[in-house]
Amino acid sequence: MTLFQRYAFRQALWPFLGALAALGGLAVLTQSLSNLDMIADQRDAALRFVWITLLAMPQVIALLIPVAVFIACAMAFNRLNSDSELIIGAAAGMSRRQRLTPFLRLAAYAILLNLVINLFVQPASFRQMREQVFEIRTDIAASLMRPGEFVSMGDGVSFYAREIGEDQVLRGVFIEDARGTSATAYAARRAVIARSDRGPVMLLEDGVLTQLDEANTLSNLTFDRYEFDLGAFIDTSSAFFFKESDRFLPELLRPSAADKARARQPADLAAEGHYRLASPLYSLAFALIAAAAFLSVEHRRTGYMRFILIAGASALLLRLIGFAVQAGASNNTDLNALQYAVPLLGGAAALWLIARPNRGARQSRRRAPEAA
């Protein structure tokens, strides 16, 4: 790159990093509020809150990268135009392509960053997040039990634990189970939550089982160890499996029979895979759209605000069309090609506006023969 191109690249790079940091901070706040209700009742809420929020960020950052590219290019072009540096570069013999090169370089770096996030970082972080969420939702000791309180689980079942230790050992446990035709009460010195082939169970130790049968006869049975099934108190929607957003690209484009059966519909896997590859192209399209707001018109001393607003609206419309195409591809795999076509066509349209002779030059050439 020439000295001017390196200077222009730096003028776009720092706004890009600043815009990405600002938008990412706003996204962290939004993501934090969405996760707060899920872990508000957990004893280790602070650590889980921060970790789950950070694990959800790669997908959000990938969505924000093209927006940051547009903001950075618009800010850099506006500054270069305000200081007449683009005009000086043109007067020194630089073509539009040479003046555009630093911003295309920034878009190329953004595409690479976006691809790394989409193909590697996002699925890895989302898998970790899915495991954390599953652990939270199936943590009976943390979500159901309250030391020194009776907790009603509905259907005639109540839990009580006198104390919950740091090692998740429950002491002084009492369970009342009024389900069915007979009432049963369990009293145990200690208990722990464990996982079995049937699901989560509470292992009661050193206790007494008291039962009232249909004939109202009371019977007591002491036990050293008893398993109380907790599967009925777990949200069935929290069953652990990886969603489309958690899968790596080969699993999306070449899914196994089990992956297809787990998906809502097989086309969702292909749509997500092609989205991961196509969405980085919006960084290139947005950089060209921002450049078109300045390079497709003659120099204006009054500023380019109107053209920036038009470019921003065009970029937003292009991205919404991309989301609509992605949603349509979930039902029709033939639309996956459009996921690539939408950003490429948007960028091609902006490039055509940049490359065409500006209107002022055409009008001056038309008036010259008339004056002669």
100-151 per-position pLDDT tens digit? 999 999 999 999 999 999 999 999 999 988 887 777 666 655 566 778 888 8
What's the number of domains the chain is made of? 2
Q: List the structure tokens of 106.
A: 């920034």
Domain boundary (203, 233, 263) is at: 233
pLDDT of amino acid 129:
86
pLDDT, tens digit (0-9, with 9 covering 90-100), for 285-320: 999 999 999 988 877 767 789 999 999 999 999 999
Rounded to two decimals, the pTM is: 0.77
Q: Indicate whether 342 and 266 sit together in one domain.
A: yes
| Residue 255, domain extent | 3-137+240-362
Rg value, the chain, Cα: 31
Judgement on whether residues 35 and 180 belong to the same structural domain of the protein: no
Contact 132, 52 (CB under 8 A): yes
Verify that 156 and 196 share a domain, yes or no.
Answer: yes
| Residue 298 in domain | yes
Q: Is 242 exposed, middle or buried (0-12, 13-18, 19+ CB in 10 A)?
A: middle
* Residue 76 included in any domain: yes
Same domain? For 27 and 130 the reply is yes
Task: Please give the average per-residue pLDDT across 173-195, as a whole number.
Answer: 85
Q: Are residues 43 and 151 in the same domain?
A: no
pLDDT of 212 reads 74
Q: Are 125 and 246 within one domain? A: yes
Q: What is the pLDDT of residue 87?
A: 85
Are 52 and 98 found together in one domain?
yes
Residues 94 and 151 in one domain: no
371 lies in a domain?
A: no
pLDDT of residue 348: 97
Kindly state whether residue 368 falls inside one of the protein's structural domains.
no
Please write the tens of the pLDDT for every residue from 39-87.
555 545 567 777 888 898 999 999 999 999 999 999 999 999 888 888 8
